Structure formats: structure tokens, C-alpha cells
Structure 1
Amino acid sequence: MIITSLLDTDLYKFTMMQVVLHLFPAANVEYKFRCRTPNVDLVPYVDEIRREVRKLCGLRFNEGELDYLRQMRFIKSDFIDFLALFHLNEKYISITPSPKGNGEIDIYIKGPWLHTILFEIPVLAIVNEVYFRNTQQQPDYSEGRERLRDKIQLLGARPEFADCKIADYGTRRRFSGRWHEEVILTLKDGLREQFAGTSNVFYAMKHGLTPLGTMAHEYLQACQALGPRLRDSQIYGFEMWAKEYRGDLGIALSDVYGMKAFLRDFDMYFCKLFDGARHDSGDPFDWGERLIAHYEANRCDPRTKVLVFSDALDIPKVLQLYERFRGRCKLAFGVGTNLTNDLGYNPLQIVIKMVKCNGQPVAKLSDSPGKNMCEDKAYIAYLSQVFGIEQPAEEEVGK
């Protein structure tokens, strides 16, 4: 059994889920799976993936897990009561070979947002582990351990970088749950204070680490359908988040509509209200410079704000970013696939993205067009016009 606990997911799933319970309990959504890695045949593993998802749907939160969540200052008692009754329902997910006959598989998740939000991360982890345990039946863990040791040594090589910390953000694309846990324990022992924690709630609970996360793209995408006006959907999302958490969990995601649109909406009020922002697409150096300048223009000392970098990071890039921005702001780095799936094999670039909310298309138009995932060209064009975004090339729409 690949997933053995419903806590084996990222913290931001629970923080978003609580917002959904309190503010959007009637919302209905649709998610879609895509593998961006070319020439990968997942069809032979469809039945195995289905069996693992069926086991996932049989899980419940136990009292120890609920008690752990209850200790988090931002988790409210009625949400814990809801989770005590919660389970994932298999009727909301379908897994089939693609009719294209090219080795792709179709995974659709459709249903109430409140009852489907926890599918994404464990399903991606299942697809990854099923694929790799079939294609790499004798994994080269010694190679993975050597690579991980090199990363730890590189991070600790220069005394002046001693306060450069990283966190594990690698649940969704991990090689396996077993390897993920070994990576976390190795980082904990090898980095000590330089290991900030993990986005994975289960391993945070099991190993006494800090769980990390706030919001993901799906939250701001859903606000396109849930807010009063499309143009104000990003502002609406930030306001509803602040309404729920009252200053806690104050890291805003910046790339649903690109940096230009984010800065336009992230005015002085939000600059002062939120603790910082997270980068997840586009040039991270440019993003950091623009955000620091934006804080200064809005009478905020950037040295009091957190810049979180989390886009396809490796340790050399972490150190480059740290060297550029240290002393100018607070820094946080979330490293994913490069930690949890670096054994010498080509990792799968797989995603599950929200594509509809309440029957309406929703989309992300980030500063990395290849991350966009919406097949409704008319909606992409309209969204681009509303937010003043250069429309992606036709071949990029729906990637």
C-alpha cells in the first residue's frame, strides 16, 4: 500500500480545505492530470494505480492524526470535527487510458471541492511510485544517497551561508514513500538547523519537523469563478484568505496571473498585511528584485518580509539566490523533485490541475507559459485580456 495515511500530503491542502469548508462549501470543481514528460507509457499501470487509489479511499484520519492537526494554531475545531468524518470517495475520480492511444492516461477528479481537494498530492505520489517500481525494480539507492550527501555538503560548505535553510517540498513527485522518508531523515541529521522542515504533514508529525505551506494555485484559480468579478479575483482570494486566517499563514502566491498582475493587485494594504510571497514560475532573480522594489515603493521594509522560492530548485540555484538576496529580505527555499527523486533516473513531470470551478473554466497564466493548463482557448484569451497578460502561443495552450 503506497499511501498509508491521509496526512501523507502537503500542508497547504489542509489550510486551503479549511477555507473551502468555511467560505466555499458548495463549490464544485474539476481537476485534470497531465504528464509533461514525453514518450512515457503509463497505460500498463492503470489497473495498479486504480487499486492504490481504492486503498487510498479506504483511509480515515485516526485520533493521533487529528490531535496533531488540532495542535496547529490556525486549525479550527469545526474543521477537525469534519476531518473526523472525512474520507475520499472513489466515485469522484476516474483513471483510464487516453483515447489518443499514445501511452498517456486520463485522470479526472470531479465533485465537491471540499470532498476532492485531498486527491491531488497522494494520487500524484501513487502514479510516480507505481511507475518507478515497475520500471526500476532494483533502484540504485547508493547513487541517490551519494547525490544527497553531495547536496548536504554543498549547502554547508561555506560558513557565511550557515543560515541558508531549505525545506522539503517533494511529496508529489517523489521516487517512493520509502525514499522520501530516508531523504527527510538524512537532511534532518545532515543539515540540522539548515533544514527548515517539510511540506509533508505525515513526516512532519512522525519525525518532529515543522510542517510548511499556505496556499496553492487552485485556490486563486477557483476564485475566478467564486469571486464577484473576474478582474478582482486575485484581490478577492487574498481578502478571503485574510478573513479566514487573520494574519496567520501570510505567504501570498504570486504567479497565477504573472508577476505584473500580482504587483498591480498586491497593493500597500496587502504588502503590510501579508508576511511575504512565494515564487513558482519565471526568472527567480528578476522576481526577487521586482518584489523588493515593490515593497520599498509601498513603504514596507523588505528586510521584514519573506521571499519564498520553490520553482524547480536545486542546491546550486538555492545558493545563488541566497547570495543575491541575503540581508535584503528574509529567505525561504522549498526544494522538491531534486531532493526526493534524484537517483539517476528521469523524474516524471506530472501535475494535477484544477480546470473548472462551478462549471466555469479556470486557468493559471504564469510567467512560465509551459505550466499553463487550460483547453478553453476563448477563456484563455478573455483571462489574458482582463489581466493584461500577453496571450501564450497557441501550441502552449493546454500543455
Structure 2
Amino acid sequence: MNSVQLHSILDNDFYKFTMQHAVIKLFPKAKVRYAFINRGKHQFPAHFADLLRKAVDAMVDLKLSITEKKFLADNCPYLDPTYLDFLQGYQYDPTEVTIEQYESELKVTIEGYWYRTILWEVPLMALISELFYMSQNLIRIDDKEVIRITKSKIESYKSLSLVILEFGTRRRHSYNVQKLVSETLNNFGEANFLGTSNVHLAMLQNKKPSGTHAHEWFMYHASEYGFKVANAMSLENWTNVYQGDLGIALTDTYTTEIFFEQFNKKFSKLFDGVRQDSGDPIAFAVKTIEHYQKMGIDPKSKIIVFSDALNLDKVKVIADFCRGKIKMSFGIGTNFSNDVGLPAMNMVIKLTETKAENNSWEGVVKLSDEKNKHTGTAKMIALAKQVLRIDI
């Protein structure tokens, strides 16, 4: 059986590096724990944990090259030279990752300093996904068919005059499929393909990587400062670090309703737009447009980045509604990187606990706009709902 390994330390989503940069600045002593959540109830074959362990242990050899460092310096000037020096010396520590298997059930946890462990989530999921298909000898469609399907999709998006991003690293079928898809999008997408969130693939395409921050940024701030001010403190700290760069705000860590209550005129003007990642996209667009109008801001000057389980049909519906009302782009993940004739995996790795300096471990929660996407213990979820006065 062939092994699976990563090809670059930059084979990761861009927002992991932007958040790592901010964490080093603001929370260098914070510790965190993450856990693998098997939403799809996938059954893992015998000895899968051993295969994953081998792949994880091999990540210790990944290093930032001089060429990769120059790419980041040239394309991401808001990343401090000191951070790029840090990343050049960074080394994955496989002891931060615990992997266990009980019959067909896989358990993966991560623990350590946040500034270090933040890079594990995406490549771990990519490895789990690729190993899952490989370990069962599941046969995908051939490369020519992958190219044909991807070309057809991007040509459809072009005909709709839409801007598309590729967000598929975490649940990709394999590195080779994502690379092929990304190359095809770049070859045939022209100005309609803005790029990829995968920094390694962005470098291969000579495009700027795409992304800002993720739910864990807001989840940590809730544990540090409290649920009521989590959104405001997250946005304030983000703007303090990036001074207006990386200006797409994620809205649904504690429901979009609560987010917009704290997305005041300062933030609404400073951030270029918002990202929708759960719930009804049309209802979200309505809320967003109404929010900007309430702030005295022309919605057509702002953008929504839609990123929740998108496919062509869903994008068409969203685009028909938003056109002429607000700018839009679409971050498409699994439908690009794992549309190969096999069922796509449904899994996440989420922040579960945090430990601020001189504090004890504390559970964290995420209250998505979709009830079945909530994460955290029942007790902490109930507490968050009570404090925020929400009922979903």
C-alpha cells in the first residue's frame, strides 16, 4: 500500500497562517485542544490509525523553503518579517497529535500552544480524507474526467459572470486531485477564478492566496473575554493586527444575528465584507444588505463571500438574488476537490478547549446558523445560548 504525505508546509489554508501570525502577536502563551468530529459516521478500516500516524510523523520533515518564504513576502506584505523568520524555523511536532482507533471508530486530538498547533487542522483532515479512499482501494474517475468536469463547472460560472475561489483542501479526495482541479480552474477560469485558499497551490499558480480568519478565532475570544463581547473583541484584535487588510469577517460563530449586533459602523466600514458559512444564504444576504443600509453604507460597495457547501445550482440561486444588490464571490470546497465519483467525507476538526495564561482549561462552543453544526458540550452550549439570549 502506498503512503500518503504532504508536499509542502504551505499545503494548508491561508487563514491558518494569518491567524497564526496574529496569535503569536497577541496570545503567545495560550494553549488549546482540538478534536476530530466524524459527522458522516464513516467507518475506518483496520489499522487506519497506523497509516495516519505514519503520515503525521512524516510532517516533521516539512520546512519552509527560501522560495516559499519569498512568495509570502512578495504577496502578503502584512505578514511581519519576524513571522516569516519564525515560519522558516517552524517544525511540526507530531507529539501534539494523539491518534487512536477503536474498531472502525477513529479518535484524533491535538493539544499544545495555540501558535503552534493552529497549523494541524487542515493538513490532518486532508490526510484523513486521502488515506480513507486509498486504504479501501476506492477507485475514482480518471484525470481526464476530473479535468472535463472542472472545466465544465468553471465555464458555467464564467457564463454567469461570477467570481469563484477554490476552498477544497480539508476534504479533498487527494492532493493530486486538488492540484489538477486548481490547475484546470486557473487554465480556463481567466478573471472569474480569483484563486485558492491553499497557499502551496496558490504559489504554483503565482496567485495571491485567499482567506482571512476562521471560527476558532472567535471561539478563543469568547473564552478569553466572554460570549457577549466575543465578536467585537475578535474584530478589534483583527483590525489591530492587520490595519484594514484581510477584510472579510466571518459571521456565524455565535449566529449571524448576534454578529450584526456588534458589527458597528466602524467595523462595517473598515471590513470589505462578510463570509456566509451556514444557514440560509438568501436570508443571510437579506440581513447583510439591511445591516449595511441601516449603517448608511451602500451595500453595493461591500461583498459577501459565500462558502457553505456550494454547488452550481445553489450558486445560481444565490447569484440571481444578490445581483445588483451587493457584490458576491463564492468559495467552493468539496464540490471542486472531491467530485470524483465517490461519496465525499463529512468531517471537521474543531477547537474544543482553551487555556489562557494563568487560567484553567475551559470548553468552547460554536453556535452556527444551523443547529446541527453546533459544537461544544451540551452544558457550554446551553450557557452560551443563555448569555446571548438566543434560541436555535
TM over 0.5, shorter chain: yes
Partner of 1:81: 85
Note if contact 1:272-1:300 (Cα within 8 Å) is conserved in structure 2: yes
Note if contact 2:44-2:132 (Cα within 8 Å) is conserved in structure 1: no
Cα offset, 1:361, TM superposition: 0.6
Distance 2:333 2:295 in 1: 32
SS for the counterpart of 2:47 is: helix
Distance 1:170 1:16 in 2: 19
Distance 1:75 1:95 in 2: 33
Distance 2:175 2:210 in 1: 18
Alignment map for 1:79-158 (pairs within 5 Å): 79-98=83-102, 101=103, 103-141=104-142, 142-156=144-158, 158=159
1:134 partner letter: S
Extract structure 1 runs of 4+ deviating beyond 6 A: none
1:228-256 deviation line (CA, Å, top 9, x unaligned) = x3311111111000100111111110000
Partner of 1:10: 13
Distance 1:191 1:81 in 2: 34
Distance 1:326 1:378 in 2: 42
Instruction: Give the one of 242, 257, 266 matched to 2:263.
Output: 266
1:194-250 deviation line (CA, Å, top 9, x unaligned) = 1110000001011112310000001110111222x3311111111000100111111
Identity percentage over the alignment? Answer: 34
2:222 aligned with 1:218: no
Distance 2:66 2:183 in 1: 25
Distance 1:387 1:68 in 2: 42
Note if contact 1:42-1:105 (Cα within 8 Å) is conserved in structure 2: no
Mean CA deviation greater in 17-26 or 229-238 = 229-238
Distance 1:65 1:182 in 2: 20
Tell me: CA distance 1:149–1:20, structure 2 relative to 1, closer, same or farther (3 Å). same
Note if contact 1:10-1:201 (Cα within 8 Å) is conserved in structure 2: yes
Partner of 1:53: 56
Note if contact 1:43-1:105 (Cα within 8 Å) is conserved in structure 2: no
2:56 partner letter: V
Alignment map for 1:190-229 (pairs within 5 Å): 190-227=188-225, 229=226
2:184 partner letter: T
Distance 2:262 2:322 in 1: 24
2:249 aligned with 1:246: no
2:29 aligned with 1:29: no
1:265-317 deviation line (CA, Å, top 9, x unaligned) = 11222111211100000000100111001100111111111111000001222
The CA RMSD over aligned residues, in Å, is 1.4
Partner of 1:345: 342
1:49-72 deviation line (CA, Å, top 9, x unaligned) = 110001112211111111111221
1:166 partner letter: I
Structure 2: gaps spanning 5 or more residues: 356-360
Distance 1:79 1:217 in 2: 22
Distance 1:187 1:316 in 2: 18
Partner of 1:397: none
Cα offset, 1:138, TM superposition: 3.6
Alignment map for 1:316-355 (pairs within 5 Å): 316-355=313-352
Distance 2:267 2:45 in 1: 43
Cα offset, 1:167, TM superposition: 0.6
Note if contact 1:20-1:113 (Cα within 8 Å) is conserved in structure 2: yes
Distance 2:43 2:372 in 1: 18
Note if contact 2:301-2:327 (Cα within 8 Å) is conserved in structure 1: yes
Note if contact 1:147-1:343 (Cα within 8 Å) is conserved in structure 2: no
Distance 1:385 1:257 in 2: 12
SS for the counterpart of 1:57 is: helix
Distance 2:380 2:254 in 1: 14
Cα offset, 1:144, TM superposition: 3.3
Note if contact 1:70-1:77 (Cα within 8 Å) is conserved in structure 2: yes
1:150 partner letter: S
1:339 partner letter: F
Distance 1:300 1:121 in 2: 35
Alignment map for 1:271-350 (pairs within 5 Å): 271-350=268-347
Note if contact 1:143-1:344 (Cα within 8 Å) is conserved in structure 2: no
2:73 aligned with 1:67: no
SS for the counterpart of 1:252 is: strand
Partner of 1:396: none
Distance 1:339 1:226 in 2: 36
SS for the counterpart of 1:25 is: coil
1:151-185 deviation line (CA, Å, top 9, x unaligned) = 133223x4xx23x1111000000011011110011
Tell me: CA distance 1:46–1:295, structure 2 relative to 1, closer, same or farther (3 Å). same
